[in-house]
Amino acid sequence: MDDVEIVRQADVVPHLHYKGAPSSKAGPPSQHELEPENIALEPLQLPVQCHSTGSLPAAIVSVQPVERSSHTVLSRSASRRSTPQSTTPSQAASATRRLPFQAHLMYGTALVIMFLAGWNDGTTGPLLPRIQVVYGIGFAVVSLIFVFNFIGFAVAAALNVYLTDRFGFGKVLFFGALSQLVGYALEAPAPPFPLFVLGQFFMGLGIALQLSGANTFVAGLKQHVSTRLAVLHACYGAGALSSPLVATQFSQMPRWSFHYLVSLGLALINVCMIASVFKFRTLEALLTQIGIPPGPNDDRAGGNKYKQIMRLRDVHLLALFILIYVGTEVTLGGWIVTYVIDLRGGGPSSGYISSGFFGGLMVGRIVLLGVNKLVGERRAIFLYGILCIGLEIVVWLVPSLVGGAVAVSCVGMLLGPIYPLVMSHSRRIFPPWLLSGCIGWIAGFGQAGSAFLPFVTGALASKVGIKVLQPVVVSMMALLVGVWALVPNTPRRFD
């Protein structure tokens, strides 16, 4: 067809096709012919060039078809059965208005997950001295709490990728939340110690799966990821700040284990939110729902994901880094109460020092965002690590209760930004088709440090006393800086 110019004016009737027999009379179509059910539009599926014609009024538009191709007549009834691509403009606008709310709702649920994870980690420290008294056990036996917690984290790390691929993101999150709920239910009545530590296994399993899912979901968002990750982990700090305030009070009561009833209530809210918001759907479906379709390289995730992930040297470096980081964080937050009571003469209210540490953790993840951008993510982690080592040496060598409490809070503030910075860094050095699995492995395996390293500290304390805490923490911080020096700043080549 030759190129033509079609000019549409206000008094020109558009050309329509009618389903019924054509009218025998000349002139405009009858009212019956203009009924919606008798009209079918004939859209031209071809590239069009539109331009205004100089000084002509805006009502006059010139359209120049470049090339006409075969097309079909779409009836009104067929358009009702059309795919999402043929959504009307009003429907598309309505969907656009809903998407931000859905995205914020999912992100809010991830914040609740992180708050409860922090709540769990902040609980142990203030209750440890009371648990030792109630069950009549020493440092080595009470450290079995961390051992069973570690086993739960390790199982979650090993199965996370398989479970997510087999059952989907939403179902794995729900299973993790349910497992955590079971753990609190076991511990709330203060059962015999073997059953108590079994509850720690279920909590470790559940928390690891949820942390992996929350980090993976936020890392999959396309805008302001670094800030969102910082806020996400600040909620972890908020939970860890809040729980010692409550646990310290329960530790001085006859029904000390009723603290886990409070935790049980929070876990029940978490289960309901995950079920109602994520609705047992896959991560790809959830991201597509909020306007983030799968990336162009996602189809390369075929094959054995374990083999692809395990061949990445950097994923193991970051998993080791997070294991040491989380282990240092929970070791210090968990054992500092016992350290202050035994070596600094602190009283029953020493549990509030743990709140100060985790409060600093929360504040640092927000307040130091500007410093992270100014210094650069990589250099910032070196800076925070070195400053933390210096402050821990002060806590170690200066026998001051108040000075030590302030220094520990500052350590928490400097440690705070490191975890979200690492997760943000992961997005740049891992291939996009494996990012979800890599973050899942890093978060799951790394979280095992929250149980393994506190157990090692407890085992050493049973031999030489709790004074071993500060040398262990300083050594782990130095190792943390050394491992970070091995992590690449730019992505390696992925074939």
The predicted structure's pLDDT at residue 493:
56
pLDDT at 324 over 90: yes
In which order are the strands placed within the sheet that holds 61-65? Answer: 6-8, 61-65, 48-51
Q: What long-range pairs does 183-186 form, CB within 8 A, spacing at least 24?
A: 184/260, 184/261, 184/263, 184/264, 184/267, 185/264
Residues 6+ apart with CB under 8 A from 91: none
What residue segments make up the domains of the chain, in order of their start?
A: 6-80, 102-486
Residues 6+ apart with CB under 8 A from 144: 193, 197, 455
Higher pLDDT: 182 or 212? It is 182
- 1.20.1250.20, 1.10.3720.10, 1.10.490.10, 3.40.1280.10: which CATH number matches 102-486? 1.20.1250.20
Cα distances from 416 to residues 358, 360, 381, 409, 435, in angstroms, run: 9, 7, 10, 11, 23
Per-residue pLDDT band at 48 (split at 50, 70, 90) = very low
Tokens of residue 185, six digits: 């239910």
pLDDT in tens, 278-322: 989 988 888 888 888 765 544 454 557 778 888 888 999 999 999
Tokens of residue 376, six digits: 């650069």
pLDDT in tens, 167-181: 989 999 999 999 999
pLDDT at 201 over 50: yes
| SS3 at position 39 | strand
pLDDT at 458 over 60: yes
Q: If you count them, how many residues does the chain have?
A: 495
Span 398-405, average pLDDT: 86
62, β-bridge pairs: 7, 51
Cα distances from 224 to residues 218, 228, 229, 230, in angstroms, run: 10, 6, 9, 10
Per-residue pLDDT band at 443 (split at 50, 70, 90) = confident
The predicted structure's pLDDT at residue 91:
41
3-state secondary structure 200-226: HHHHHHHHHHHHHHHHHHHHCCCCCHH
Tokens of residue 83, six digits: 């795919």
34, β-bridge pairs: none
pLDDT in tens, 350-400: 778 888 888 898 899 899 989 998 998 889 999 999 999 999 999 899 888
211, β-bridge pairs: none
The predicted structure's pLDDT at residue 479:
95
| Alpha-carbon span 15 to 28, nearest angstrom | 11
Name which of 386, 368, 366 is nearest 377 in CA terms.
368
The predicted structure's pLDDT at residue 180:
95
Task: Check if the beta carbon of residue 350 is closer than 8 Å to that of residue 245.
Answer: no
Tokens of residue 270, six digits: 């978490």
The predicted structure's pLDDT at residue 62:
41
pLDDT at 268 over 50: yes
| Alpha-carbon span 234 to 417, nearest angstrom | 9
The predicted structure's pLDDT at residue 28:
52
| Alpha-carbon span 465 to 139, nearest angstrom | 9
Q: What are phi and psi of 493, to 5 degrees?
A: -80, 130
Q: DSSP secondary-structure letter at 62?
A: E
| Alpha-carbon span 426 to 216, nearest angstrom | 11
Cα distances from 354 to residues 9, 157, 419, 424, 439, in angstroms, run: 75, 27, 19, 27, 28
Question: How many other C-beta atoms can be found within 10 angstroms of the C-beta atom of residue 145?
Answer: 25
| Alpha-carbon span 215 to 306, nearest angstrom | 19
The predicted structure's pLDDT at residue 53:
42
Higher pLDDT: 92 or 455? It is 455
41, β-bridge pairs: 74
pLDDT at 36 over 50: no
* Chain mean pLDDT for the chain: 78
Name which of 431, 171, 107 is nearest 298 in CA terms.
431
